[in-house]
A and B are shown apart, each in its own frame.
Chain A
Amino acid sequence: MDKLVNIVLDEAHVIKEWGGTFRTDYLKIGPICYRIPQMIPFHLGSATVGKQLESELVKNLHLRVDSLAVMRQNTDRPNIFLVVERMKHPANSYEDLAFIIKKNLGPGNECPPKFLVFFNSQTEAQAGAEFLRARLSPKLCDKVKWFHSGMMDQFREDEMHALIIGESLGEALTDAAGMVDLKVLRFEIIITKGLPINRELISPISNGLFSTELRKS
């Protein structure tokens, strides 16, 4: 205990969402706070923990405000262009993803930019990957992968995961799987399917969006 310098919770934005059911160990953090010396600082790291979420975490995890620091990264990413696309097919279909991969893409064809597609459930991530695989010629059909938290044991090593993705065209995944640090790889398109969203959010985003040429497949 006397060697403890500080406690850091990285990616702190997931604690609220996952603490209840998915990663219940988060709820044990509160009691830890009472067993360590008061001067040990506590850090929350995340680009997207705002004031409201910070106060919720303080309350639910019983964090001591005087020894708490929230490390926020700037969320301004000038090299990422946000596009909002209206789905043309039903929400339970994957047809809207067809633009990512040209039909019957084979070994001789130019590869699409490396992509990630985020889904809201494990089932969808797998079905989405299978939809994209069906568009590839048989020789390439395993070049789209899916990855979700249920497979964490299989891909426990980040490097292993990176290697697999490095050899693929792209991946269908869930938020939990997205936590694996993939910054060594260059993803040029990120697609998010069916994220519940409201008009107050879409309006400011759509002010800054531009029409993309990517759909000419």
Chain B
Amino acid sequence: MGYSVPSYERVSTLWQRAGRAGRNLAIDAVAILLTESCFFDDEKDKVAQKAVE
């Protein structure tokens, strides 16, 4: 999370959850967001493509 986010509201929940990791700055931590395929651009494009066809 090596950058600040311009609009906090949209990512507040994710940032708050991820921020529970690595409270000790000497320790590297990993925050994984498991999200459904339908939110990824390529899947959305596929759906859009099908709609066109």
Contacts and interface: CB of A to CB of B under 8 A. Distances in A.
Interface of A: 13, 47-50, 52-53, 74-87, 91, 96-97, 116, 118, 175, 178, 182-183, 185-195, 197-205, 208, 212, 214
A147 to B, nearest CB: 12
B2 A187 contact: no
A110 B40 CA distance: 35
Contact of A96 (B4, B14, B27, B34): B34
B4 A75 contact: yes
17 contacts: A13-B8, A76-B1, A77-B2, A77-B19, A86-B36, A91-B36, A116-B17, A178-B17, A178-B20, A185-B23, A186-B24, A188-B29, A189-B29, A190-B18, A198-B10, A202-B41, A208-B3
Contact of A189 (B9, B21, B26): B21
Contact residues on B (Cβ < 8 Å of other chain), bracket: 35 or more
Contact of A85 (B2, B3, B33, B41): B33
A70 B35 CA distance: 32
Interface in B1-53: 1-5, 7-37, 39-41, 44
Contact of B35 (A75, A78, A195): A195
